[in-house]
């Protein structure tokens, strides 16, 4: 049930709620709450839980994490939920951003990913591999060249998110990569412009290419996302400071404008002085996010390959085209992943008439909710439109491996993003409800920040948002006064493909194309048609 603003609410000025009044509150003004409830155990939630355990100020704070994770096997509970976006075979790890603030933060995170000298390091035991990244786009922008940097990063004037194309994003990203590594010759030498298709093909090394220009950054790689989350979960458990609750949250509880906890579907109630909502693409099921963020489904396909194909492709760099969103990550353990980082599918669902929304003057507008094999079984497949695009990527990027092009996918899935208009995270106290902190809006690029994100979130909780993110991570605009702008799309130049694709519509086309009309389907991790 989505939470609405209560016009009769009275402000709560005690404890964590006092820090909600301003993001610039001083440490002396912040008093750690006696209890914190974190809803969601993905990258945002679990990293926050760990960061809290590492600060002495929370030594007397009860910390609880609740998630809808499903137990299996011997009955052990698994966190995060198995259809969480953070549970996957691989995620791109890069500091290649058009926005210098994110480029710098990602570079900080990358230093942690590269630590692999001890089995306990994040990057050890196959959790991180550094094969490099080839970042390209179609069309042209200004010639790629080293910018005049200020304090080691490119000028913010180069990152106008409202007008940036994929080619613009690549150009600004290159400039930031060069600026960040200017004082480290070894790393700087691994960044090289690719001015045409032949240069891209040579850098990829598979006989394939995509885009018309770009660059390669050898100081980038990919992480085994599921293993990395298991690593973090184990570290959190070992602190002995965090309690885990298995259950699906049906609503937030609130009294007189103050959030007091959460109610679970089985009737249990969890209470806390501060509730941190870190529920990713499921956030809109609990809180009105109109104009702030929208859940979008992104297509992924997995192929089993031969040992010989693994040897031939295992050392290729990740290839990502920001114009069409298509990318291939190097295979591991004889599994190849091809995916699309695009505007994605919307799954508009009209909320129940009894669901309170912030704007009660109009009928509830449809909200895009995730649909996965766990939420809506049985599974069928991803839409044909997305499947065709993945096949196009295989043919274009791996032309020397025709046996792979039409090989049946071992499984397919939709990865659900929480997209914001600018691709910025949403990390802030709720502007209307005391005791509620929102940490979401990963916009398809949050995973790489796993080793540093939790600390940044706790900084904001304490009223110390990094200056470069004060506006970026803030709640945008009012509540319920955004007209019909309930659905947003990320327009920072990093997305490709078509806007406004509706999941139901594309699945109906898929069923018709294959002579199927049972009308009952879900989408997640099944062989293609």
Q: What is the DSSP string of 392-411?
A: HHHHHH-TT-HHHHTPPPSE
- Mean pLDDT score, 12-29: 42
Is residue 8 scored above 50 in pLDDT?
no
Query: In Å, what is the CA distance from 393 to each residue of 337, 444, 467?
Result: 11, 19, 40
Assign 468 to helix, strand or coil: helix
pLDDT at 10: 32
pLDDT at 60: 97
Q: Looking at residue 297, which CATH number applies to its domain? A: 3.50.50.60
378 inside domain = no
Q: Give the gyration radius of the chain's Cα atoms.
A: 23
Structure tokens at 223: 């992480």
Residue range 423-482, pLDDT digits in tens:
999 999 999 999 999 999 999 999 999 999 999 999 999 999 999 999 999 998 754 444
CB-CB neighbours of 33 under 10 Å: 22
* Alpha carbon distance 6, 401 (integer Å): 60
**29 compared with 463, residue with greater pLDDT:** 463
474 inside domain = no
494 inside domain = no
* Alpha carbon distance 23, 459 (integer Å): 10
526 inside domain = no
429 - beta bridge partners?
A: 437
Is residue 68 scored above 70 in pLDDT?
yes
Highest mean pLDDT among 9-23, 58-72, 380-394, 484-498: 380-394
Torsion angles phi and psi, residue 109, rounded to 5: -65, -40
Contact 209, 180 (CB under 8 A): no
Structure tokens at 482: 């955004």
pLDDT at 144: 44
- Mean pLDDT score, 327-348: 95
Assign 301 to helix, strand or coil: strand
pLDDT at 187: 84
The residue with tokens 């299996």 is 72
Mean pLDDT score of the chain: 84
Residue spans of beta strands (DSSP E) within 61-120: 62-67, 91-93
Sign (positive or negative) of CA dihedral 186, 444, 202, 195: negative
Whole-prediction pTM: 0.87
522 inside domain = no
Is residue 383 scored above 60 in pLDDT?
yes
Is residue 352 scored above 60 in pLDDT?
no
pLDDT at 29: 82
Contact 265, 247 (CB under 8 A): yes
Residue range 215-271, pLDDT digits in tens:
999 999 999 999 999 999 999 999 999 999 999 899 999 998 899 999 999 999 999
260 inside domain = yes
The residue with tokens 């208009």 is 421
Burial of 62 (0-12, 13-18, 19+ CB in 10 A): middle
Contacts of 311 (CB under 8 A, 6+ apart): none
- Mean pLDDT score, 297-311: 96
**pLDDT bucket at 364, cuts 50 / 70 / 90:** low
Q: Could you tell me what percent of the chain has a pLDDT over 70? A: 78
- Mean pLDDT score, 482-486: 47
23 inside domain = yes
Contact 471, 479 (CB under 8 A): no
Structure tokens at 188: 């700087």
Q: What is the DSSP string of 127-177?
A: TEE---EEEEESS--SPP-----BTTB--GGG--TTT--HHHHHHHHHHHH
pLDDT at 372: 79
Torsion angles phi and psi, residue 44, rounded to 5: -65, -50
- Mean pLDDT score, 391-414: 95
Is residue 523 scored above 90 in pLDDT?
no
Residue range 137-154, pLDDT digits in tens:
998 655 444 333 333 333
**pLDDT bucket at 186, cuts 50 / 70 / 90:** confident
Q: How wide is the angle at C-alpha 430 spanned by C-alphas 429 and 435, nearest 5°? A: 70
pLDDT at 11: 32
Q: DSSP H helical segments within 38-125, as ranges? A: 43-53, 100-113
Residue range 70-111, pLDDT digits in tens:
543 334 556 666 666 667 788 999 999 999 999 999 999 999
Lowest mean pLDDT among 101-115, 151-165, 497-511: 151-165
Count of domains for the chain:
1
pLDDT at 142: 52
Structural domain that includes position 30: 16-347+385-469
**pLDDT bucket at 69, cuts 50 / 70 / 90:** low
Cα 139 → chain centroid: 27
CB-CB neighbours of 475 under 10 Å: 17
379 inside domain = no
């Amino acid at each position: 049930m989505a939470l609405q603003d209560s016009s009769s609410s009275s402000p709560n000025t005690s404890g964590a709620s006092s820090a909600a009044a301003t993001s610039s509150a001083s440490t002396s003004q912040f008093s750690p709450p006696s209890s914190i409830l974190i809803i969601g155990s993905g990258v945002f939630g679990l990293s926050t839980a760990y960061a809290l355990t590492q600060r002495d100020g929370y030594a007397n704070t009860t910390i609880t994490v609740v998630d809808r994770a499903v137990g299996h096997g011997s009955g052990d509970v698994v966190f995060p939920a198995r259809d969480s976006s953070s549970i996957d075979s691989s995620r791109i790890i890069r500091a290649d951003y058009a926005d210098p603030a994110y480029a710098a933060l990602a570079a900080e995170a990358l230093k942690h990913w590269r630590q692999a000298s001890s089995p306990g390091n994040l990057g050890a035991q196959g959790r991180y591999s550094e094969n490099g990244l080839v970042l390209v786009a179609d069309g042209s922008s200004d010639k790629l060249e080293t910018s005049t940097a200020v304090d080691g990063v490119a000028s913010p004037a180069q990152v106008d998110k409202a007008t940036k194309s994929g080619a613009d994003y690549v150009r600004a990203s290159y400039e930031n990569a060069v600026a960040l590594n200017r004082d480290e010759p070894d790393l700087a030498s691994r960044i090289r412009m690719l001015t045409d298709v032949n240069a891209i093909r040579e850098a990829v090394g598979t006989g394939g290419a995509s885009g018309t220009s770009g660059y390669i950054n050898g100081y980038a790689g990919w992480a085994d996302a599921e293993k990395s989350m298991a690593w973090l979960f184990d570290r959190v458990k070992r602190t002995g400071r965090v309690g885990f609750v298995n259950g699906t949250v049906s609503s937030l509880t609130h009294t007189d404008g103050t959030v007091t906890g959460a109610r679970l579907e089985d009737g249990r109630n969890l209470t806390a002085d501060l509730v941190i909502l870190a529920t990713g693409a499921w956030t809109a099921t609990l809180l009105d996010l109109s104009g702030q963020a929208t859940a979008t489904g992104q297509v992924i396909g997995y192929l089993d390959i031969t040992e010989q194909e693994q040897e031939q492709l295992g050392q290729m760099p990740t290839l990502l085209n920001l114009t069409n969103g298509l990318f291939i990550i190097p295979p591991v353990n004889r599994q190849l992943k091809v995916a699309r980082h695009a505007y994605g599918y919307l799954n508009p669902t009209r909320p129940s008439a009894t669901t309170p929304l912030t704007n009660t003057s109009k009928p509830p507008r449809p909200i895009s909710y995730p649909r996965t094999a766990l939420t809506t079984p049985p599974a069928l497949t991803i839409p044909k439109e997305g499947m065709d695009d993945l096949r196009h990527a295989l043919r274009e990027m791996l032309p020397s491996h025709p046996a792979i092009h039409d090989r049946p996918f071992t499984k397919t899935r939709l990865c659900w993003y929480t997209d914001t208009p600018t691709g910025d995270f949403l990390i802030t106290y709720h502007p209307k409800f005391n005791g509620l902190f929102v940490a979401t809006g990963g916009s398809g690029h949050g995973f790489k920040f796993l080793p540093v994100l939790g600390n940044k979130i706790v900084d904001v909780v304490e009223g110390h948002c990094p200056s470069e993110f004060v506006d970026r991570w803030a709640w945008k605009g009012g509540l319920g006064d955004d007209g019909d702008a309930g659905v947003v799309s990320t327009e920072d130049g990093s997305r490709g493909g078509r806007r406004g694709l509706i999941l139901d519509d594309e699945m109906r086309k898929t069923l018709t194309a294959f002579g199927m009309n049972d009308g009952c389907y879900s989408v997640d991790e099944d062989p293609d048609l």
